[in-house]
Amino acid sequence: MNIMSRCSKRGKFLLIPIDVSMCRFSIHFLPPPPTSALYWANTYIPNTLSHCFRFSIHTMAFFTLLEVQRIAEFLNPKNAFRFLPSLPLLSSSASTTATSPKPNGIRTERKMGDTEVSYFLPSRESGVNDMYLHLGCRAPPRFMERRRVALVWAIMRVRHPLLASKVRMNSYEDISFVYDAPLSSKDALFDAERHLDYRSQTKEELIDSYLNGPRTLSQECLSYLIVSHIGGKVPEQIPGSHLILENFDLLICATHFLGDGMALHQFANDFSILLGSDIDGAGLADKLAEEWGQRVRHATPVALPLSMECRLPSAPEKKISRAATRIDFALSQQSLIGGHNFPRRSSAGVRHTIVPTMSFAADTTKAILKNCKSHGVSISAALFAICNVAWARTHNKGWEMPIMMYSALNMRGSLQADKRLHDSYWFLAIGYFNVVLPSFFPASSSDAMFWHRARSAKAQSTKAAKTTMVVSRCREMATERGSRARVWAKEDDDKLAGITTPKPQATSAPGPTPARLKPKVPSSALLGLSLLGNLDGIYKHSEFPDIKYHTLTTGSRQRSGGMLLFGYTFAEKLWISLGYDENGFEEETVRRFWENALLCVDEFLVPST
């Protein structure tokens, strides 16, 4: 299909051949475009219609429909929208850039902090660390009708602008969130619809396709919502049948550089409260218009939440203080000793993540939590000890080296107050800490030894969170992770481009090692633990009584050879899951570890009757 538009001001013609089958645009008229296609559409078209070139979106750049529309509108304002409905999506539906039916919107940009960069750069290739939250529920069909879900999704995206943002990367040092605010409440709904999908898949199929299939998210699509109902279309609500419940699966998807687990679960709760409210469709549309008016129309510019590094208390200005923080960080890292890893496969295949999950009945969970409390620990500390003992019973070698495990540290309590902090909780605010425990586990006095290990894990976790140096260590770790991610990203990009960087040649023989320097000790982590605690403290089930959640599974797309254990309570049940790349590890070892972990829960956490 060819479209001829006339430039009324200059008397020029713009030919846009549109190959619908190949999703390709060829535009003939401008010198090489600047970095921003939007800037090109707004500025270069009026000023520089003097040269001719062939520009293929399919092979050279990615234009949003909004940018193509702005080009067409300048050339022929009356017919600017005539051809837009026939345009195919420029990529998979999950990765489509949000579009707007009107030009001249408000654009807000914010540079990424080091922690965000450390998650963004590795995600570019295959979506490493892209988060998901699966919620299984039973609810009346009217609550899951597409328009209702889209309205609630739109309201939440207006409240939390990072969800509707994109990423622009100019260089490894210049990476930013870019938010094009919706031009109206209808535009916000249109954008939400673009990032919403209805499917007919089971829970297992949903999670497997997200973890192991083509990437759902992208730099142009940082969040996505999937609703699944077996049988396809959501059945219509029959009058008088409000007590009839259908089973639905929700999958909330978001990049990890956008936020953390706490943001994801708080969002799911707020989303559920609005979805399960008594407000009808018209009321939700009015609420969307109200939210848009408050947060966009009367807020210029639209505020994006600041990065964690910008919200942490200021670093000391004195050189001696800065040196002290760096020395403290270095010493804290040197104390981390770990000499155990899961054995890898000699020839690892294509990454394939699986998530075996175990839940415990409500009465069993209640007894477990009571038992942990009686021994002075939380379920989180007990799970460190569970992994410790399970590994000791799985791998009876290397007892001279301790076991190290890592976990995330919630830094939200250390952030300085900021208006944008209260407006949106969607931001990344995590540090990291490690727990080191002995690798041997004596058969005698095993019960007493287990609870001793659990109390040791609790003490180490508390020390990491309560130390007066927590802020400076978090800042130093963020800087280190950001620098490391940039180096690795450049190496990966160079390798992909076929660029080889020669290693520097040694000009002379290495000198003797000073006797005062200690040999480097191993600091390998066995696995990571994501300990979310009591999620029933976040989900206010009583505020959406018609939506009855019965299942929660969470995790992320992993790199090859990744492994993470999750532990939390939800719907009055204890849930433990192990997400790992089954093609990256020796199968028998992982299987025995998981079996031993579940046996340890029964042996130590469930009280004997």
Domain shared by 79 and 127, yes or no: no
- Asked whether residue 192 falls in the same domain as residue 68, the answer is no
pLDDT band per the 50, 70, 90 thresholds, residue 105: confident
Determine the Cα–Cα distance for residues 332 and 469; give it in Å rounded to an integer: 10
Going by C-beta distance under 8 Å and a sequence separation of 6 or more, which residues neighbour residue 561?
344, 348, 351, 581, 584, 585
pTM for the structure as a whole: 0.80
pLDDT value at 369 more than 50: yes
Residues 408/438, Cβ–Cβ less than 8 Å: no
**Integer Cα distance of 479 and 484 in angstroms:** 9
Whether residue 99 is contained in a domain is answered as no
**In the structure encoding, which two tokens stand for residue 240, read together?**
């008088």
CB of 557 within 8 A of CB of 578? no
Same domain, 167 and 286: yes
Q: Once rounded to an integer, what is the mean pLDDT over residues 33-49?
A: 36
Residue 420 has a pLDDT of 62
CA distance 187 to 585: 47
Domain of residue 468, residue span: 342-497+527-538+548-605
Q: Which residue has the tokens 């309201």?
A: 155
Residue for token pair 């040092």? 173
Residue 317 domain flag? no
Contact 286, 189 (CB under 8 A): no
Average pLDDT estimate for 359-379: 96
In the structure, what pLDDT confidence band is assigned to residue 399 with cuts at 50, 70 and 90?
confident
394 in the same domain as 284? no
What is the band of 345 on the pLDDT scale with cuts at 50, 70, 90?
confident
- 430 has pLDDT over 70: yes
Question: In degrees rounded to 5, what are phi and psi of residue 548?
Answer: -105, 100
Both 84 and 122 in a single domain? no
Q: Is residue 200 part of a domain?
A: yes
Q: Mark whether 23 and 84 lie in a shared domain.
A: yes
Tens digits of residue pLDDT in 127-145:
999 999 999 999 999 999 9
Of residues 563 and 84, more confidently modeled: 563
Mean pLDDT of 158-176: 97
**Residues 219-238, mean pLDDT to the nearest whole number:** 84
Distance CA 55, CA 32 (A): 8
What distance in Å separates the CA atoms of residue 99 and residue 87, rounded to the nearest whole number? 12
pLDDT at 531 over 90: yes
> Where residue 29 falls among pLDDT bands split at 50, 70, 90?
very low
Q: What pLDDT is attached to residue 440? A: 87
Residue 560: what pLDDT?
86
pLDDT of residue 373: 96
pLDDT in tens, 447-484: 999 999 999 999 999 999 999 999 999 999 999 999 99
Quote the CA–CA distance of 251 and 217 in Å, as a whole number.
13
Which residues does residue 504 pair with via DSSP β-bridges, in sequence order? none
Q: Mean pLDDT across the stretch 18-36?
A: 34
Q: Is residue 95 part of a domain?
A: no
3-state secondary structure of 259: coil
Q: What is the mean pLDDT of residues 493-500?
A: 89
Identify the pLDDT of residue 236: 65
Residue with tokens 């900021």: 418
Listed residues 249, 282, 304: the one ending a domain: 304
Residues 6+ apart with CB under 8 A from 171: none
One-character DSSP codes across 459-489? HHHHHHHH-TTHHHHHHHHHHHHHHHHHHHH
Q: What is the mean pLDDT of residues 558-579?
A: 94
Report the pLDDT averaged over residues 273-285: 97
Cis peptide leading into 301, omega within 30 of 0? yes
- Inside any domain, residue 505: no
- Please name the residue ranges forming H helices in 160-280: 185-194, 203-212, 261-275
Average pLDDT of the residues in 432-440 = 94
pLDDT of res. 396: 82
**Higher pLDDT among residues 170 and 510, named by residue:** 170
The overall average pLDDT reported for the chain is 81
User: What pLDDT does 417 receive?
Assistant: 80
State percent of the chain over pLDDT 90: 63
C-beta of residue 34 within 8 angstroms of C-beta of residue 61? no
| Average pLDDT, integer, range 497-524 | 61
Give the pLDDT mean for 527-547: 95
Q: pLDDT value at position 503?
A: 60
Which of 237, 132, 266, 137 is CA-nearest to residue 577? 132
Residue 132 covered by a domain? yes
Two structure tokens written together for 588: 């028998």
Same domain, 122 and 209: yes
Residue 519: pLDDT band (50, 70, 90) is: low
Q: What are phi and psi of 176, to 5 degrees?
A: -135, 150
Residue 140 sits in the same domain as residue 202: yes
Average pLDDT over residues 579-603: 95
Q: What is the mean pLDDT of residues 344-351?
A: 81
Q: Are residues 554 and 478 in the same domain?
A: yes
**Which amino acid does the sequence have at 565?**
L
| Lowest mean per-residue pLDDT among 491-500, 517-526, 579-588 | 517-526
Q: How far is CA 364 from CA 360, 566, 602, in A?
A: 6, 18, 10
Q: What local confidence, expressed as pLDDT, does residue 421 receive?
A: 58
Domain count, the chain: 3
Co-location of 565 and 447 in the same domain? yes
Same domain, 366 and 485: yes
**Mean pLDDT of the 405-425 span:** 85
Question: The domain that contains 176 carries what CATH number?
Answer: 3.30.559.10
Whether residues 54 and 161 fall in one domain: no
* pLDDT at site 608: 82
What is the SS3 assignment for 196? Answer: strand
**pLDDT over 50 at 27, yes or no:** no
pLDDT at 506: 47
What's the token pair of residue 492?
Answer: 């990966």
Q: Could you tell me which residues are beta bridge partners of residue 527?
A: 405
Instruction: Say if residues 123 and 129 touch (Cβ distance below 8 Å).
Output: yes
Distance from C-alpha of 582 to C-alpha of 198, rounded to nearest angstrom: 29
Does 331 map to a domain? no
Contact between residue 256 and residue 220 where contact means Cβ atoms under 8 Å apart: no
- Quote the pLDDT of residue 85: 32
Distance CA 453, CA 446 (A): 10
Residues 478, 114: contact at Cβ < 8 Å?
Answer: yes
CATH of the domain at 433: 3.30.559.30
| DSSP conformation letters of 26-82 | EEES-SSP-S-HHHIIIIIHHH------EEETTTT----HHHHHHHHHHH-GGGTTS
SS3 (DSSP) at 177: strand
In a domain, 472, yes or no: yes
Contact call for residues 548 and 138 (beta carbons, < 8 A) = yes
